[in-house]
Amino acid sequence: MPPTTRRPAPDATRRSEKSRRAIYDAALSLVGEVGYPKTTIEGIAARAGVGKQTIYRWWSSKADVLMEAFLDLAEQANQQAGGRPGDHTLPDTGDLAADLRLVLRATVDELLDPRFEIPSRALAAEGVVDEEMGRAVVARLLEPSLQLYVDRLRAAQDAGQVRPDVDPRIALELFVAPLAQRWLQRTGPISHEYTDTLVDYALYGLAPR
């Protein structure tokens, strides 16, 4: 093949992109249906209508396929919410409470979307009992999202809106973790009103001022 044709032709790129999306969709729907332990590369390939080797060419394991499928899903949600491709920052209008309310309301909507909810529960359940898997989910999916809150809270500290002695990595958990627990453990309903309340309590505290 001459060097000039090394870059895939537009048709080949389109075909690859179509396969990639079919593989992500297959991986997410399969894990939601049969759970993580019973999801296999063979099963994903069969459902996506591609050969097993196509998957192994791009990903090293089923965990790897699934992580990237979730990252892709999050990226789609980001773009649907008006975000730019690859832009992973929280809004900063200067009003911390308003910005957090906005982001958490969008998170509620995402958690209630069955396309996200069913595969996410399967992956989360596996992470609870399988430490290696749990740590991979944290490193690749959860912690990068949580770091966006760290950045936003640091900016608020610089602006004097958050106590300077507060550790942003712990502080964010006051509003993120209650929502996560209600969703994951079903300890209560989730709604925009609920997350608005969390933001209020977390920023201004439970003790009287």
**122 neighbors 62 (Cβ within 8 angstroms):** no
Number of residues that bind a copy of itself (CB under 8 A): 52
Residue 90 is a binding residue for a copy of itself (CB under 8 A): no
Q: What is the DSSP letter of 113?
A: -
Among 77, 111, 142, 148, binds a copy of itself (CB under 8 A): 142
Enumerate residues 148-167 that contact a copy of itself by CB under 8 A.
Answer: 153, 160-163, 166-167
What b-and-e string marks burial along 24-63, b requiring 16 or more CB atoms within 10 Å of the CB? bbbbbbbbbeeebeebebebbbebbebeeebbeeebeebb
Residue 147 is a binding residue for a copy of itself (CB under 8 A): no
The token duo for 161 is 């809106």
Closer to a copy of itself by Cβ: residue 71 or 174 = 174
Distance CA 106, CA 122 (A): 21
Closer to a copy of itself by Cβ: residue 26 or 168 = 168
Enumerate residues 180-199 that contact a copy of itself by CB under 8 A.
Answer: 180-182, 184-188, 194, 197-198
Residue 6 is a binding residue for a copy of itself (CB under 8 A): no
Among 134, 140, 147, 151, binds a copy of itself (CB under 8 A): 134
Rounded to the nearest 10 degrees, what angle do helices 62-80 and 114-129 cross at? 140
Among 126, 152, 155, 190, binds a copy of itself (CB under 8 A): 126
Residue 10 is a binding residue for a copy of itself (CB under 8 A): no
Q: How far is the CB of 120 from a copy of itself (least distance, A)?
A: 9
What number of CA atoms fall less than 13 Å from residue 144's CA on the CB side? Answer: 13
Q: Which residues bind a copy of itself (CB under 8 A)?
A: 35, 121-122, 124-129, 131, 134-135, 137-138, 142-143, 146, 153, 160-163, 166-167, 169-171, 173-174, 176-178, 180-182, 184-188, 194, 197-198, 201-209
